[in-house]
Chains A and B, each alone.
Chain A
Amino acid sequence: MTRTLAKLAATVATAALMVALGGPAAQAKDFLLGSELPLTGNLARVGQGMHEGIAVAIDMANKAQAGKHSFKVSTIDDETSPAKAVAAVEKLIGDGVVALTGGYGSNIIGPASEAAQKAGVVYITSGGVTPDLTGRGYKTFFRINNTDGYALAMIGLLQDMAAKKVSVVYLNKEATSNLAKQVKETLSAKGVAVTMHEFDGSTSDFKPLINKVKLQDRPDVVAMVGYENDYVGILRAAKVLKPDVKAMVGVWSLATSQMAKEFPDLMENVHGTSMLSFPVEFTQPEALEFAATYKKLFNKEPDYLGQFGYVQTRLLIDAILRADAAGTLAGGGLPDELRKTDAQTLIGRVTFDAKGDNPNFTHRMGQHQGGKVVLVWPKAFANGAMRFPATPW
Chain B
Amino acid sequence: MLTLEGVHVNFGGVQALKSASFAVAEGESIGLVGPNGAGKTTLFNVISGVVRPSGGRLDFRGQSLLKLPEWKRARLGIGRSFQIPRPLGHCTVRENLIVAQRFGARTNDPQRIDEILDILNLRDKADSDAATELALTEHKALEVGKALATNPSLLLLDEVLAGLETTSKRAFMERLGAVRDRYKLAMVIIEHDIPTIAALCPRVLVLNFGQIIADGAPDAVFRDPEVIRSYTGETTL
- Direct A–B contact present (CB less than 8 angstroms): no
- List chain A positions with a Cβ less than 8 A from chain B: none
Chain B residues engaging chain A, CB cutoff 8 angstroms: none
